[in-house]
Chains A and B, each alone.
Chain A
Amino acid sequence: DTGVSQDPRHKITKRGQNVTFRCDPISEHNRLYWYRQTLGQGPEFLTYFQNEAQLEKSRLLSDRFSAERPKGSFSTLEIQRTEQGDSAMYLCASSTTGVQQPQHFGDGTRLSIL
């Protein structure tokens, strides 16, 4: 399967700990997106990369969150000093460059804060 891959699928951690998630996009997709989804809601945009450049950040992305895509391939999303409100599904998507190209999503990492 050559879809978007996310790791881990589930993460349980205590409040105050740091967590890091990884996303491997579809190969040759130079755009990569992070979204967050809470129960009963649709996904909400967090940030977007074109190649290694982070071009857009949502105001949802507080200073405890940082995302990287160092070589323009995989990406990591780190949350520092986790809080209860960070419990959510974190989704990654990728797309090619080009007008109207659809985003293709991974199955997400579900984060639970104890």
Chain B
Amino acid sequence: DAKTTQPTSMDCAEGRAANLPCNHSTISGNEYVYWYRQIHSQGPQYIIHGLKNNETNEMASLIITEDRKSSTLILPHATLRDTAVYYCIVRVYQTGANNLFFGTGTRLTVIP
């Protein structure tokens, strides 16, 4: 799986958009980008995933650059409940290899 690089921590003002970057310069053509987050004392929560097109759901938007070497997770209106560790994962599913590699993620703190 391709390696990802994320900032260790970020702050965002409540009500503003939170933009979380992820670099994955060695991504291959069949690898998807997944985002999960983990709020303290809870299990990771799936947010969104994509291959090359931008994706949006009720939680967030995922913007993937045209060369696919980086992506940005956007939380459009951050709330205090969005304070969590956000993990960017690049993964291709294939027979015999189904685990996710989480890394250490970005700790997002939403400030009142």
| CB atoms of A45 and B99 under 8 A apart | yes
Measured CB to CB, the closest approach of chain A to B12, in angstroms, equals 21
| CB atoms of A55 and B103 under 8 A apart | no
Residues from 76 to 112 in B contacting A, C-beta threshold 8 Å: 85, 87, 93, 96-105
Evaluate whether A91 and B44 lie within 8 angstroms (CB atoms) in the complex, with A42-B105, A100-B93 already known. yes
Evaluate whether A43 and B32 lie within 8 angstroms (CB atoms) in the complex, with A106-B43, A108-B43 already known. no
Query: In the complex, how many residues of chain B place their beta carbon closer than 8 angstroms to a beta carbon of chain A?
Result: 23
> What B residues does A40 contact at CB under 8 A?
104
Complex CA distance for A33 and B104, rounded to whole angstroms: 19
Evaluate whether A100 and B97 lie within 8 angstroms (CB atoms) in the complex, with A42-B102, A108-B43 already known. no
| CB atoms of B43 and A45 under 8 A apart | no
* Tally of contacts, chain A with chain B, CB under 8 A: 57
Q: What is the chain B residue whose CB lies nearest that of A58?
A: B99
Residues from 33 to 47 in A contacting B, C-beta threshold 8 Å: 33, 35, 40-45
| CB atoms of B43 and A33 under 8 A apart | no
Complex CA distance for A93 and B45, rounded to whole angstroms: 10
Evaluate whether A42 and B43 lie within 8 angstroms (CB atoms) in the complex, with A56-B96, A100-B32 already known. no
> What A residues does B45 contact at CB under 8 A?
105
> What A residues does B105 contact at CB under 8 A?
42
Q: What is the chain A residue whose CB lies nearest that of B47?
A: A102
> Which of A31, A99, A100, A107 lies in contact with B42, CB distance below 8 A?
A107
Complex CA distance for A102 and B34, rounded to whole angstroms: 8
Residues from 63 to 114 in A contacting B, C-beta threshold 8 Å: 91, 93, 99-108
Evaluate whether A56 and B99 lie within 8 angstroms (CB atoms) in the complex, with A42-B87, A102-B34, A102-B49 already known. yes
Q: List 17 A-B contacts (CB under 8 A).
A: A33-B98, A41-B104, A45-B101, A48-B98, A55-B96, A55-B98, A56-B99, A91-B43, A91-B44, A93-B43, A100-B32, A100-B51, A104-B46, A105-B43, A105-B45, A107-B41, A107-B42
Q: Closest 5 CB pairs between A and B? A: A42-B102, A45-B99, A105-B43, A102-B46, A107-B43
